[in-house]
Amino acid sequence: MLNYLVRRLGYALLILVGVNLFTFVLFFTVNTPDDMARLNIGGKRVTQEQIDKWKSERGYDKPLYWNAKHQGSEKLTETIVWERSVSLLALDFGRSDAKNSVDIGHEIKTRMGVSLQLAVPLFLLQIVASTSFALVLVFFRHTRIDFWGVVLCVVMLSISSLFYIIVGQFLFSRVFKLVPISGYAGGLDAVKFLVLPVLLALLARLGTEARLYRAMFLEEIGRDYVRTARAKGLAEHIVLGRHVLKNALIPIITSAGSYLPYVFLGSLVFESFFGVPGLGAFVIEAITGQDFAIVRSMVFLGAVLYIASNVLIDLAYTWVDPRVRLH
């Protein structure tokens, strides 16, 4: 177990270094710090002095990859790539590039809490709803209920999530006036703002997930242990609910686990449509404002979360299936 964790951590570091280098090459080769300065200062005539001032204020006044002015290892360390990479690996995100530069780390901390409020209920409800819907379909397999259920799934997964949001907001907020159309408030008031996005996000993914889970259950149902359970005389709902469900948990965890990074990062679309000030909305603002420092930090954070959630998934395997040993 310890062995496994150490190895995973080593590999994770290697990947993070790769991600970091990749994003740097991506961001700085096309868009040099001079261009960034010009874009951020704005206006047609930007003097070199202004650019230099902007760069030194934000610590972009060093060479990108190689500093020939210095000696020894400082040739590598006195560069933008090195400084930024080291601070990112220490999860110090620095300040954003925009005029009213914000502390990215602080922003992430406050916004992640909001994102979690939206994403945790969604994540849990998603698993429960999709699994139960799929189980019902499997229970009624080879009947019309299963057939039309699958048809419903295919239709639902063919509809863009944007349609769910727009129609949902229109119906529940404008026509029935049940919940506010968008916005956010702290404390208990958050519930009335978050209930609609959670339900709509649930609905938007139900088709895909339920169909996938149904296939997983059907795969299990052909196994010998199911036949044995039936031969013992167990009722079908017990076979499904106790035996099949437990054994199908591994693929379900794999599939649901792939959403774990988004539990923390929040959903871009849902947060920005419903005006929830989470990380997803933060990213969209950064993209539309072309604030590269924020996008870079979020790319890195996303990679960290992805790796962490993969370890969590592996740990979950050992929990649901004692046969799985990590080493």
Partner 1 sequence: MPKLVLLWTDAVLYVLLIALCIYVWRVRTKPNLRANWRRVLRDPAGLCAGIVLLLFALLTFAESVHFRRTLPPAPGASPAVATFYATRTESLLDVMLQRQHEMRESSYSAPLAYLGFTKESFERDGQTVRGYPRLAFGGAHLADPARQWAGDVLARAAAGCAFGLLVACIVSLAAAAALGRQHGSAMQALRDIATDRTDYPLRAALVTVGVLCMLGGAVIALMDHYHVFGTDRTGNDVLLQALKSVRTAFVIGTIATIATLPFAVVLGVLAGYFKGWVDEVIQYLYTTLTSVPNVLLIAACVLMVQVFLDKHPEMFETGVERSDLKIFLLCVILGLTGWATLCRLVRGETLKLRELEYVQAATAFGVSDARIMARHIVPNVMHLVLITTVLNFSDLILYEAVLTYVGVGVDPSMSSFGGMINLARNEMSRDPVVWWSFAAAFGFMVTLVLAANLYADAVRDAFDPRSRSFRPRVLPKLIEKA
Interface contacts to partner 1, rule CB under 8 A: 14-16, 18-19, 22-23, 26-27, 30-31, 35, 137, 141-144, 146-147, 149-151, 154-155, 157-163, 166, 169-170, 174, 181, 214-215, 218-219, 222, 261-262, 265, 268-269, 272-273, 283-284, 287-288, 290, 292, 295-296, 298-299, 302-303, 306-307
Q: Pick the closer one to partner 1 by CB: 78 or 285.
A: 285
CB of 247 to partner 1, least distance (A): 17
Separation of alpha carbons 41 and 267, rounded Å = 31
Pick the closer one to partner 1 by CB: 79 or 169: 169
Whether the CB-CB separation of 30 and 64 falls below 8 Å is answered with no
Q: From residue 176, how far is each of 36, 60, 198, 270, 274 by CA, in Å?
A: 47, 53, 18, 20, 17
Nearest distance in Å: CB 292, partner 1: 7
- Indicate the residue among 34 and 83 with the shorter CB distance to partner 1: 34
Alpha carbon of 294 to those of 24, 82, 115, 259: distances in Å?
A: 13, 18, 17, 22
Minimum distance between the CB of residue 187 and partner 1, rounded to whole angstroms? 27
Nearer to partner 1, 287 or 326 (CB): 287
Rounded to whole angstroms, the Cα distance separating 243 from 227 reads 11
By beta-carbon proximity to partner 1, the closer residue of 154 and 191 is 154
Between 66 and 170, name the residue whose CB sits nearer to partner 1: 170
In the bound state with partner 1, the residue whose beta carbon lies nearer, of 35 and 189, is 35
Q: Cβ atoms within 10 A of the Cβ of 148, count?
A: 12
* Six token digits for residue 175: 């026509």
Which residue lies nearer to partner 1 by CB, 18 or 183?
18
Q: CB 308: neighbour CB atoms within 10 A?
A: 15
Considering the complex, what minimum distance in angstroms separates the CB of residue 313 from partner 1? Answer: 13
Alpha-carbon gap, residue 24 to 19, rounded angstroms: 9
Q: Least distance from C-beta 68 to partner 1, angstroms?
A: 26
Choice between 14 and 124, CB closer to partner 1 = 14
Shortest distance (Å) from residue 73 CB to partner 1? 25
Residue 268 Cα distances to 12, 194, 199, 287, angstroms: 25, 15, 16, 11
Transcribe 250-288 into DSSP letters. HHHHHHHHTTHHHHHH--HHHHHHTT--SHHHHHHHHHH
DSSP letters for 22-89:
HHHHHHHHHS-HHHHHHHHH-SS---HHHHHHHHHHHT--S-SS--TTS-TTHHHHSSHHHHHHHHHH
Minimum distance from CB of 146 to partner 1 (Å)? 5
Q: What is the largest CA-CA distance in the chain?
A: 85
User: In the complex, what is the shortest distance from the CB of residue 197 to partner 1, in angstroms, rounded to a whole number?
Assistant: 15
CB of 20 to partner 1, least distance (A): 10
